């Protein structure tokens, strides 16, 4: 399994990859993970039942491809199949020579993300797909379309994302939707509602929390504007990224600095502990494939307020297991927050709906079984007679 991020990083793939790798290892498969990390964390120790090979993500760009390529070759020679969750271009290029069955998981559009980060486009995810872009964006789009076509199968976490992957030129019948899930261990640790309510009563402030990489599309600025109009609220922001400094300055400018905590990037276990100490999870993104952070909030017994974007409505049903508001609408976000802060019965009903959603529609056993079935199918299509256990 190849991933661009892995704990102690946070983010969807950093949550999904160890969960899936451990589940596959428990089912008898031989799994190893190849990932990138910050230089000071290359020697990070772990307790996973599979090896984790870490590469330095700060290698100069001119040397990075050859460094990654040599490690991909070294680690992939003896495997039955490669399951790539990141480092997709390098993996696809090297696999042209390795010739291994290749499954790729797509959770977004790397061409759009890079173009947005570098200021080459201001278009939304949807508009970016069909709007003519200036150089060098078309090159990034062509690269993205090329490497996805090298996969034997693509897995996506929502029907929403599948539409775009097919539009990029990948065959519909080879693109499989498998919804994300939360880990079995964390599901057993759901905090009883009574304990949360008792703790909430001991606090003078209603406690909001948001989790994610601090990039522009997360729209944390809208949450800051909302709590500036809700004096009895506090906000914890978990994550790090290029917008952190800007939003720290904004919190001071709005005179809410004493009610806002920037917690930085935290290990998954610490995030879950922190979630359970809050009263409401809010996510104001302008784009999401299918937000893993919302699943984690539901699993920890928090009511959820988020935006009606991307694949989120496939997870959140408005007024059933969360509230949905339009994207980039500060007034709608504030009004929904005010409503949820004031209505304890509404919050509890949404918490109950979230628990039911996790248990019935996003259970980890289903996700693991579907993924295992897909990997076995692709590996055997190239090498009939493989046993029931794979080497990844």
What's the rounded Cα separation, in Å, for the pair 293 and 304?
10
pLDDT at 326 over 60: yes
The region of weakest confidence among 32-41, 181-190, 245-254, 286-295 is 181-190
Sheet containing strand 260-264, strands side by side? 260-264, 233-238, 206-211, 280-283, 304-307, 323-325
pLDDT at 359 over 80: yes
- Nearest C-alpha neighbor of 204 from the set 258, 144, 131: 258
DSSP-derived secondary structure letter, 265: S
Helix, strand or coil for residue 77?
A: coil
Q: Give the bridge partners for 175, in sequence order.
A: 154
Kind of pairing between the strands at 233-238 and 206-211: parallel
Residue scoring higher pLDDT (201 or 43): 43
What's the rounded Cα separation, in Å, for the pair 342 and 280?
12
Q: Cα dihedral sign for 115, 120, 124, 126?
A: negative
Q: Are domains 2-182+363-382 and 184-361 of this chain identical in fold?
A: yes
What's the rounded Cα separation, in Å, for the pair 21 and 31?
6
pLDDT of 188: 39
pLDDT of 120: 94
Output the DSSP codes for 286-317.
Answer: S--SS-HHHHHHHHTT--EEEE--TTGGGTPP
pLDDT of 168: 94
Q: What is the pTM of this model?
A: 0.84
Q: How confident is the model at residue 361 (pLDDT cuts 50, 70, 90)?
A: confident
DSSP-derived secondary structure letter, 120: S
pLDDT of 86: 92
Average pLDDT score over the chain: 89
Q: What are the boundaries of each domain within the chain?
A: 2-182+363-382, 184-361
- 25-43 average pLDDT score: 90
pLDDT of 186: 44
Q: How confident is the model at residue 226 (pLDDT cuts 50, 70, 90)?
A: very high
pLDDT tens by residue, 79-114: 999 999 999 999 999 999 999 999 999 998 999 989
pLDDT of 184: 55
pLDDT at 325 over 50: yes
pLDDT tens by residue, 133-170: 999 999 999 999 999 999 999 999 999 999 999 999 99
What's the rounded Cα separation, in Å, for the pair 32 and 20?
11
pLDDT tens by residue, 329-356: 999 999 999 999 999 999 999 999 999 9
CATH of domain 184-361: 3.40.50.2000
Q: Which fold has domain 2-182+363-382?
A: Rossmann fold (3.40.50)
Query: What are the backbone angles phi and psi of residue 155, rounded to the nearest 5°?
Result: -105, 130
DSSP-derived secondary structure letter, 257: G
- 219-241 average pLDDT score: 93
pLDDT tens by residue, 51-72: 999 999 889 888 888 899 999 9
- Structure tokens belonging to residue 259: 């009610």
Kind of pairing between the strands at 102-105 and 153-156: parallel
pLDDT tens by residue, 190-219: 444 444 444 444 458 899 999 988 988 899
Alpha helices in 362-387 (DSSP H): 364-382
pLDDT at 323 over 90: yes
- Nearest C-alpha neighbor of 178 from the set 53, 19, 47, 329: 19
pLDDT at 222 over 60: yes
- Structure tokens belonging to residue 232: 């009895």
């Amino acid at each position: 399994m190849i991933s661009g991020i892995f704990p102690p990083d946070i983010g969807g793939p950093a949550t999904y990859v160890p969960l899936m790798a451990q589940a596959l290892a428990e089912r008898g498969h031989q799994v190893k993970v190849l990932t990138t990390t910050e230089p000071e964390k290359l020697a990070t120790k772990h307790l996973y039942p599979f090896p984790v090979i870490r590469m330095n993500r700060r290698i100069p760009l001119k040397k990075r491809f050859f460094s990654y390529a040599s490690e991909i070759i070294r680690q992939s020679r003896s495997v039955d199949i490669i399951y790539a969750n990141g480092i997709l271009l390098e993996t696809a290029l090297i696999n042209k020579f390795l010739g291994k069955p290749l499954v790729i998981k797509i959770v977004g559009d790397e061409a759009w993300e890079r173009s947005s980060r570098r200021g080459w486009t201001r278009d939304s995810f949807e508009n970016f797909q069909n709007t003519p872009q200036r150089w060098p964006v078309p090159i990034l789009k062509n690269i993205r379309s090329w490497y996805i076509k090298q996969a034997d199968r693509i897995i996506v976490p929502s029907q929403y994302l599948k539409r775009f992957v097919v539009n990029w030129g990948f065959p519909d019948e080879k693109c499989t939707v498998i919804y994300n899930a939360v880990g079995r261990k964390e599901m057993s640790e759901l905090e009883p509602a009574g304990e949360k309510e008792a703790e909430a009563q001991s606090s003078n402030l209603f406690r909001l929390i948001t989790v994610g990489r601090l990039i522009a599309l997360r729209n944390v600025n809208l949450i800051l504007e909302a709590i500036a109009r809700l004096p009895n609220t506090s906000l914890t922001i978990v994550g790090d990224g290029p917008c952190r400094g800007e939003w720290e300055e904004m919190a001071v400018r709005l005179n809410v600095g004493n009610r806002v905590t920037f917690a930085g990037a935290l290990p998954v276990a610490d995030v879950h502990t922190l979630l359970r100490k809050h009263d409401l999870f809010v996510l104001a993104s302008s784009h999401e494939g299918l937000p893993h952070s919302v699943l984690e909030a539901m699993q920890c017994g928090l009511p959820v307020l988020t935006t009606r974007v991307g694949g989120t409505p496939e997870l959140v049903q408005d007024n059933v297991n969360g509230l949905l508001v339009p994207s980039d609408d500060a007034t709608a976000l504030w009004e929904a927050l005010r409503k949820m802060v004031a209505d304890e019965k509404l919050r509890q009903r949404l918490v109950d709906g979230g628990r039911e959603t996790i248990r019935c529609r996003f259970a980890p056993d289903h996700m693991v079984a579907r993924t295992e079935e897909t990997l076995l199918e692709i590996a055997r299509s190239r090498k009939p007679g493989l046993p029931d256990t794979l080497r990844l």
